[in-house]
């Protein structure tokens, strides 16, 4: 299957450093998880991803159309500079026993297009890990074909890929192996009623509900993987349930708890909702739980 470098996008995004912060006010509504655990929430002893963190993106499946090319640029544009925002700075509250905190920067290191090295019907998390390993070994994500144990690998499915858990169990998740941590995101357009927030299903800030929803999902999973890369740091284990930071400000679904999920929304000239703006881009992100203020915030 074709594996190709997306370096052209990385070059086109290089040098974007000016950040225009969103002006949405902070939101203080809490869900039951935050209400129950917020006052006692602490690091269980694990490490967080501190300082400079490389991010590697794998666009898996069919991303060949002109619209898909635009979607890739939108996704990479968000990832490239989101760590310069005041939204991201909330994560600085989360530290480990070594004195490190989630301070960034998050660096978009490389991106690759895999048309289907593990097939188009994915069955389990091990398959997701195999795709990441294939991408690393291809040479496009790493000059020496080595895994980055301190980086984040992001696997984003295209519209022609089926995953056994996507749309039924999750829209995305974060996990890890012995050698790396990663984020999986399915293609939200495959089940918009489940994986695309209601307020952007018809009109979204980047004129693509699927990629805008993928960014929303990413904004949740980034919180978790940075503060709890091996699920032994900022997480709560209760029976079979694991609660991470992203769960403190999320509702039962995108159709409920809108203010809690997203804070105060702004509207584009075309009527699309967003809550974070930087580098002339507008995005819909999930709020972040501030343990210092016991609130779900969009900025400090």
pLDDT digits (tens, 9 = 90+) for 257-276: 577 789 999 999 999 999 99
Three-point CA angle 119, 120, 125, nearest 5°: 80
Beta-strand runs (E) in 158-210: 162-163, 172-176, 181-185
Q: Tokens at residue 177, please?
A: 């192996």
Q: What domain range includes position 21? A: 3-297
The three-state secondary structure class of 114 is strand
Q: Tokens at residue 228, please?
A: 């709890």
Q: Which residues contact 16 (CB under 8 A, 6 or more apart)?
A: 77, 80, 81, 279
Q: In this structure, are residues 263 and 25 in contact, taking their beta carbons and an 8 Å threshold?
A: yes
Three-point CA angle 211, 266, 18, nearest 5°: 70
pLDDT tens track of the chain, all 300 residues?
A: 556 544 333 323 332 222 333 334 444 468 889 999 999 999 999 999 999 999 999 999 999 999 999 999 999 999 999 999 999 999 999 999 998 999 999 999 999 999 999 999 999 999 999 999 999 999 999 888 899 999 999 999 999 999 999 999 999 999 999 999 999 999 999 999 999 999 999 999 999 999 999 999 999 999 999 999 999 999 999 999 999 999 999 876 555 557 778 999 999 999 999 999 999 999 999 999 999 999 999 998
| Alpha-carbon torsion, ordered 215, 219, 221, 224, to 10 deg | 170
Domain total in the chain:
1
Scanning the chain, the segments in alpha helix (DSSP H) are 7-13, 32-37, 66-81, 86-89, 125-137, 192-195, 209-227, 258-262
Nearest to 296 by CA among 242, 248, 225: 248
Nearest to 209 by CA among 191, 198, 196: 196
Q: How far from 208 is each of 22, 73, 186, 187, 231, CA to CA, in Å? A: 20, 12, 15, 12, 32
Question: Whole-prediction pTM value?
Answer: 0.91
């Amino acid at each position: 299957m074709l594996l190709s470098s997306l370096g052209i996008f990385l070059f086109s995004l290089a040098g974007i450093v000016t950040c225009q912060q969103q002006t949405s006010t902070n939101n203080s509504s809490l869900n039951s998880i935050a209400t129950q655990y917020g006052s006692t929430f602490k690091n269980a002893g694990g490490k967080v991803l501190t300082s400079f963190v490389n991010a590697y993106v794998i666009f898996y499946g069919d991303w060949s159309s002109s619209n898909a090319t635009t979607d890739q640029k939108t996704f990479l544009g968000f990832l490239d500079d989101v760590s310069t925002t005041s939204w991201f700075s909330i994560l600085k509250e989360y530290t480990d026993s070594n004195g490190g905190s989630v301070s960034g920067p998050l660096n978009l290191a490389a991106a690759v297009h895999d048309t289907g090295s593990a097939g188009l019907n994915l069955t389990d998390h091990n398959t997701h890990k195999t795709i990441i390993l294939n991408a690393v070994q291809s040479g496009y994500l790493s000059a020496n074909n080595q895994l980055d144990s301190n980086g984040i690998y992001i696997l984003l499915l295209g519209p022609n890929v089926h995953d056994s858990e996507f749309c039924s169990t999750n829209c995305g998740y974060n996990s890890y192996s012995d050698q790396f941590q990663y984020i999986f995101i399915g293609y939200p357009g495959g089940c918009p009623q489940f994986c695309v927030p209601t307020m952007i299903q018809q009109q979204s800030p980047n004129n693509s509900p699927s990629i805008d929803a993928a960014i929303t999902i990413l904004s949740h999973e980034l919180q978790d993987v940075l503060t709890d890369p091996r699920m032994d740091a900022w997480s709560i284990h209760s029976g079979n349930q694991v609660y991470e930071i992203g769960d403190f400000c999320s509702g039962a679904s995108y159709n409920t708890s809108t203010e809690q999920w997203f804070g105060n929304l702004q509207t584009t000239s075309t009527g699309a909702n967003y809550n974070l703006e930087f580098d002339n881009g507008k995005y819909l992100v999930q709020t972040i739980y501030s343990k210092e203020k016991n609130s779900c915030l969009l900025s400090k």
